[in-house]
């Protein structure tokens, strides 16, 4: 095992998205702000959440977290599938790296992209909406855990997919529905009982809800319960990913 190899792979993955900064960071920030503009303009004066919170303020943490998780997933998944399709994955596999180092380099680099875009959305949205931060520890914890989970799912998707359209299917039929049905744009208290129960089966809901609690001090679920669910999900996804990397599943074919 080589620490220098891990450091180099991490640097390569960060440099990969940094070189196209307008596409990988600036564009997602602008897209997310368009969501904020449209939804706040249409519903801002008509919807109150948790009693007194303005809808526009309620919306911002959800959009920040959505940006974090989507870009974390996009970074690790696109990098891996591109390496497989072009054939240069062999150079990574031949390097003196353990599968754990391989996993950590991809995840940490994806987390950097996700967090950078999330901070970008937060800073720009802060020009229009004043957000309190009641519990900074929860904000940081859920941002880090959420980005790590989606970076890990990105690796799983990149391992499984053999073509770009398969990766797009994974994102469109799994990641996107779980993201948009996680309470980004609404509180699940407004849903009928069946849909509330269904939302509680969505691990993305706990990321969004816990992250939002860090700002307002109120949430649909106890944040300690949410962080426990998120941690269990991260451990399960990480264990599966490291196992697949160790076996070389669909990487050494």
| Angstrom distance (rounded) from CA 6 to CA 8 | 5
54 pairs with which residues across the strands?
Answer: 48
Residue 47 has a pLDDT of 63
48 pairs with which residues across the strands?
Answer: 54
187-196 average pLDDT score:
82
Residue 189 has a pLDDT of 80
CA dihedral 34, 39, 45, 50 (to 10 degrees): -120
| Angstrom distance (rounded) from CA 88 to CA 85 | 8
Residue 185 has a pLDDT of 85
Residue 253 has a pLDDT of 67
Residue 77 has a pLDDT of 97
Residue 83 has a pLDDT of 93
Q: Average pLDDT of the chain? A: 92
Residue 151 has a pLDDT of 98
pTM: 0.93
Q: What is the pLDDT of residues 38-76, one digit of tens each?
A: 887 776 565 667 767 888 888 999 999 999 999 999 999
Which of 14-23, 87-96, 157-166 is predicted with the least confidence, judged by mean pLDDT?
87-96
Evaluate if residue 122 carries a pLDDT over 80.
yes
Which sequence spans correspond to the domains of the chain?
3-247
| Angstrom distance (rounded) from CA 19 to CA 14 | 9
Residue spans of alpha helices (H) in the chain: 3-18, 21, 27-43, 55-86, 89-94, 99-125, 136-160, 164-170, 176-180, 193-199, 203-216, 223-247
| Percent share of the chain, pLDDT over 70 | 96
Residue 37 has a pLDDT of 87
- Taking alpha carbons only, the member of 149, 190, 173 closest to residue 51 is 190
Residue 95 has a pLDDT of 85
| Angstrom distance (rounded) from CA 148 to CA 224 | 18
Q: In degrees, to the nearest 5, what angle opens at C-alpha 153 toward C-alphas 148 and 157? A: 150
Which of 28-32, 43-47, 101-105, 186-190 is predicted with the least confidence, judged by mean pLDDT?
43-47
According to the per-residue pLDDT averaged within each range, which of 81-95, 176-190, 231-245 is highest?
231-245
Which of 42-56, 111-125, 134-148, 174-188 is predicted with the least confidence, judged by mean pLDDT?
42-56
CA-to-CA separations, 77 to 110, 191, 200, in angstroms, rounded: 9, 33, 26
Please report the DSSP string for 16-72 in residue order: HHHTTHIIIIIHHHHHHHHHHHHHHHHHTTT-EETTTEEHHHHHHHHHHHHHHHHHH
Residue 46 has a pLDDT of 58
């Amino acid at each position: 095992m080589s620490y220098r190899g891990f450091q180099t792979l991490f640097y390569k993955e960060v440099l990969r998205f940094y070189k196209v900064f307008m596409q990988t960071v600036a564009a997602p920030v602008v897209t997310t702000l368009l969501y904020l503009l449209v939804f706040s303009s249409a519903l801002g004066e008509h919807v109150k959440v948790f009693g007194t919170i303005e809808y526009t303020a309620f919306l911002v943490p959800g959009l920040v977290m959505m940006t974090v998780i989507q870009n974390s997933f996009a970074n690790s998944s696109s990098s891996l599938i591109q390496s497989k399709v072009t054939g240069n994955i062999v150079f990574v596999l031949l390097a003196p790296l353990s599968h754990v180092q391989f996993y950590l380099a991809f995840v940490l680099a994806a987390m950097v992209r996700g967090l950078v875009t999330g901070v970008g959305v937060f800073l720009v949205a802060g020009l229009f909406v004043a957000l309190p931060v009641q519990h900074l520890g929860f904000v940081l914890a859920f941002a880090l855990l959420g980005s790590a989970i989606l970076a890990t799912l990105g690796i799983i998707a990149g391992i499984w997919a053999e073509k770009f359209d398969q990766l797009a299917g994974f994102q469109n039929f799994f990641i996107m529905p779980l993201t948009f049905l996680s309470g980004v744009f609404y509180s699940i208290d407004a849903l009928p009982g069946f849909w509330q129960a269904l939302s509680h089966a969505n691990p993305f809901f706990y990321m969004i809800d816990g992250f939002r609690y860090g700002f307002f001090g109120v949430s649909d679920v106890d944040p300690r319960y949410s962080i426990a669910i998120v941690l269990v999900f991260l451990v399960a996804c990480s264990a599966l990913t490291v196992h697949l990397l160790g076996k070389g599943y669909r990487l050494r074919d």
